[in-house]
Amino acid sequence: MAVNLQWRSKSKKSIQNLPPGPWKLPIIGNMHNLVGSPPHQSLRNLAMKYGPWKLPIITNIIVSSPEMAKEVMKNHDAVFASRPFLLAAKIISYDSKGIAFSPYGSYWRQLRKICALELLSSKRVKSFRSIREEEVSNLVETIYHSSGRTAFGKKSREQEAYIEISKQISKLAGGFYVSDMYPSIKMLQWIGGLRHKLEKVHEEADRILSHILSYHKEKRIMKSEPYNHEEKADDHQEDFVDVLLKI
């Protein structure tokens, strides 16, 4: 215990010189400052007086002015570019492998390069013109599905199912969870059934994506056959999955 206390004391001394923040309690940090009001209102009130604050063991700095936002987002963007630990991101995004949740580094930069050069280039966006024109004619019905069609190709039951599962993912991932504040205490991930819900949703999403991937692989094989003349017009249009399979 004495060694642990001494190590913690040295660690605190080695921490960067942060701007002044509200007084925090042991273990729970500044959780008590969020009681009684919605989190965004509590953050606003704290931002009017302080800089950093602490949610259990996670130190945060409130950026509430245009000048400081420029420092964080432009002048020192690489320093603040990484992502925090989120249980939902770890489970749903295949151990935080997606571009939205992957830690900043060479892997993330490679994902960004693929998106910029292969998926979101001017030429690639123009190639989806026929899809966009068709979707506009059915705006009321299909505006909800257009992004899914761009990613997966023609409409299908899998696309409809993935949209529904995406709603569940957004609801779970957008919550405020104690387990994200105490990432080292694994037991908290099971309290309330959060981890079980995330794993169940991830399993269903993975099943749907695997089916979509198999369909695109089969389509590529059929297109490579020299005597295949039964290809539908919709199969000529490449989507994001087709592009990624070619890389």
85-134 pLDDT, tens digit each:
888 888 888 888 888 889 889 999 999 999 999 888 888 888 888 888 87
Tell me, what's the pLDDT at 247?
A: 84
Question: What pLDDT score was predicted for residue 152?
Answer: 62
Instruction: Give me the amino acid identity at 94.
Output: Y
Q: With CA atoms as reference, report the closest residue to 120 among 245, 216, 244.
A: 244
Which residues, including other chains, have CB under 8 Å from residue 74's CB and lie 6 or more apart?
A: none
The pLDDT value recorded for residue 38 is: 73
More confident residue, 24 or 6: 24
pLDDT recorded at residue 151: 64
Query: Could you tell me if 52 and 22 are in contact, meaning their C-beta atoms sit under 8 angstroms apart?
Result: no
pTM: 0.51
Helix (H, G, I), strand (E, B) or coil at 102: coil
Tens digit of each residue's pLDDT (9 = 90 or more) over 167-224 = 888 888 877 777 887 787 888 888 878 888 899 999 999 999 898 899 888 888 887 7
Please indicate whether residue 26 or residue 243 has the higher confidence score (pLDDT): 243
For residue 230, pLDDT beyond 70: no
More confident residue, 241 or 160: 241
